[in-house]
Each structure stands twice: as structure tokens, then as C-alpha cells.
């Protein structure tokens, strides 16, 4: 599955940005992958969550068209990378016989689609600064739909807990607990999807360079480090993979091989 994911990253980059099909196309491909027979009906909770995800994808394309600046890393391509990752990780979870309700699958697609909307580039000045903005935007998109508050609250929490400073604690919360779809485990699954492209040996280094360029424009003090071999060593050393799906992909071994080369 890791090889398939890397091939998908290549396909996305072959179209970025001039022949970019748009986030709605990427989202619809994920929906078809997860529900090959038929997606949830529109009036169900899962259907409403997917409708919100579709509206967010359209919104992000409109924001990008209207703006003269899109971050070098936290852009629509990154969202597509993360969407593809969470889709394939969920598919693997299903193949491993773990229960994954339509509602949770749709909620994760909405959360990943929304998690970096309106990202200005750079890094948070305080905890969840950008994530609060994204969660607020998601709630606005979902407001006109009949989504139960428990699901908008869950999606909001998933977005808020993508703050990089909270990722280690997210993994700690599920340590030594059986995998099942809950807010805590969904956060970890989402965290893994968020960094999965950067964890690959094929695309990780260039994504580090893109982040360095983004940070330089925002005068981030570590912009001169993040794109270097030392910066990549630090990044890879910080990664954790906890879900059975990511373990099934052999991601820890893939990262360990890169660390051996860098050390």
C-alpha cells in the first residue's frame, strides 16, 4: 500500500499546479475508494458529513483562486496528500477487519479536507492558532446542513489536535489501548495522514524544502534548518506510527532506513 500511495503522490504532482483537477476531484476519488458500491445517502449523517467535505473542497479552491498567495507547503496539494493518506489508511483498517462506520470515515474526510483551510503559512504563534481558524471555517461550512452537534464537535477536535505540538500527546493517549474508532484514535490516524507524504523517502526531502521556503517568507527562525539533512533527521526522529494500518504499511521500517542513511 505504501508503494501505491507514493504512486498517487507522483500522479498528484504531475498535475500541480497547471493541470490541477481540484480538491473536489481528489475527495470524490477517496469517496469512491472507500464506498466502491455506493456512497452514503445524502440525508444520512455520513452523507451530510461528506456533503460538508465537498463544500469545503470547493471553498478551498475558491479561496486559492481569489488569493495572490498560497503557502509553499500548507497548500491544496498538501491537503490532497493528506486526504489520499487518510483514505488509504482507512481502507487498510477495513481490510484488517477493524470496524469503521460510515460516519467516522466521512468525519475523517471532512476533518482532513478542512484541517489547513485559510492557513497563512508559517507556524502558530500560540497553541492551535491556525487550527482554531480552520475549525471555525469548518463549522461555518457545516452550519446549513443537518449534522448532529456531536459530529461537528468531533471533527472540530480532530482539526484542533493537528497542532504539531500536540501530536506526541495524541499518540501517548492511545498507547497500550486497543485500536477502535474514537476521537483519540481518529486523531492519531489523522496525525499520521498529515505527515505521511513527508515521511516518504521519495517526496519527504522536497516537502522539507517547500516548508523551508514557506517559513522563510514568514521569517520563521528555523527556516534555514528545516530543509537541511539535519532538519530532516530531526523530523524523522520525531515520527511515531501507532495505528495498525500504518504498522501494516511498514512505515516505521521505511523511516528507520532513512535515518540509517542520514546518521
What is the C-alpha separation between 242 and 227, in angstroms, rounded? 26
Residue spans of the domains in the chain: they are 2-197
Q: What is the pLDDT of residue 225?
A: 97
Cell of 96: 484488517
Q: What is the pLDDT of residue 8?
A: 98
pLDDT tens-digit profile of 197-256? Answer: 999 999 999 999 999 999 999 999 999 999 999 999 999 999 999 999 999 999 999 999
- According to the 3-state scheme, what is the secondary structure of 235-251? HHHHCCCCCHHHHHCCH
User: What is the DSSP secondary structure assignment for residue 164, as one 8-state letter?
Assistant: G
CATH 1.10.1300.10 fits domain 2-197: yes
Mean pLDDT score, 63-84 = 97
Mean pLDDT score, 29-39 = 97
Q: What is the pLDDT of residue 136?
A: 98
Q: What is the pLDDT of residue 242?
A: 98
**Residue 161 dihedral angles phi and psi, to the nearest 5°:** -90, 15
**Closest by Cα among 212, 250, 255 to 3:** 250
| 109 Cβ neighbours under 8 A, 6+ residues apart | 27, 30, 31, 34, 49, 50, 53, 83, 86, 87
**Three-point CA angle 194, 198, 201, nearest 5°:** 145
Q: What is the pLDDT of residue 18?
A: 94
Q: What is the pLDDT of residue 254?
A: 98
Q: What is the pLDDT of residue 126?
A: 98
Q: Which alpha helices (H) appear in the chain, and where do they start and end? A: 2-14, 23-34, 45-66, 76-95, 102-114, 129-142, 149-160, 167-174, 183-199, 204-217, 223-226, 229-238, 244-248, 251-262
pLDDT tens-digit profile of 97-139? Answer: 999 999 999 999 999 999 999 999 999 999 999 999 999 999 9
Q: What percent of the chain has pLDDT over 70?
A: 100
Mean pLDDT score, 69-79 = 98
**Mean pLDDT score across all residues of the chain:** 97
Amino acid at each position: 500500500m505504501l508503494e501505491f500511495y507514493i504512486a498517487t503522490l507522483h500522479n498528484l504532482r504531475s498535475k500541480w499546479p497547471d493541470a490541477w483537477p481540484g480538491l473536489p476531484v481528489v475527495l470524490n476519488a477517496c469517496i469512491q475508494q472507500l464506498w466502491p458500491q455506493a456512497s452514503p445517502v445524502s440525508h444520512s449523517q455520513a452523507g451530510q458529513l461528506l456533503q460538508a467535505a465537498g463544500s469545503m473542497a470547493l471553498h478551498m479552491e475558491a479561496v486559492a483562486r481569489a488569493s495572490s498567495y498560497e503557502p509553499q507547503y500548507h497548500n491544496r496539494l498538501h491537503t490532497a496528500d493528506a486526504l489520499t493518506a487518510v483514505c488509504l489508511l482507512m481502507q487498510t483498517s477495513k481490510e484488517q477487519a477493524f470496524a469503521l462506520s460510515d460516519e467516522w470515515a466521512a468525519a475523517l474526510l471532512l476533518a482532513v479536507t478542512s484541517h489547513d483551510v485559510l492557513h497563512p503559512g508559517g507556524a502558530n504563534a500560540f497553541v492551535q492558532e491556525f487550527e482554531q481558524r480552520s475549525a471555525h471555517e469548518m463549522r461555518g461550512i457545516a452550519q446549513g446542513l443537518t449534522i448532529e452537534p456531536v459530529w461537528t464537535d468531533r471533527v472540530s477536535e480532530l482539526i484542533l489536535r493537528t497542532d504539531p505540538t500536540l501530536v506526541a500527546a495524541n499518540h501517548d493517549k492511545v498507547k497500550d489501548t486497543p485500536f477502535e474508532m474514537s476521537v483519540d484514535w481518529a486523531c492519531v490516524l489523522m496525525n499520521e495522514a498529515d505527515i505521511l507524504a513527508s515521511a516518504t523517502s521519495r517526496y519527504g526531502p522536497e516537502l522539507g524544502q517547500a516548508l523551508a521556503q514557506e517559513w522563510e517568507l514568514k521569517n520563521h527562525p528555523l527556516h534555514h534548518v528545516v530543509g537541511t539533512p539535519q532538519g530532516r533527521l530531526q523530523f524523522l526522529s520525531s515520527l511515531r506510527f501507532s495505528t495498525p494500518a500504518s504498522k501494516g504499511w511498514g512505515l516505521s521500517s521505511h523511516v528507520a532506513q532513512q535515518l540509517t542513511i542520514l546518521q
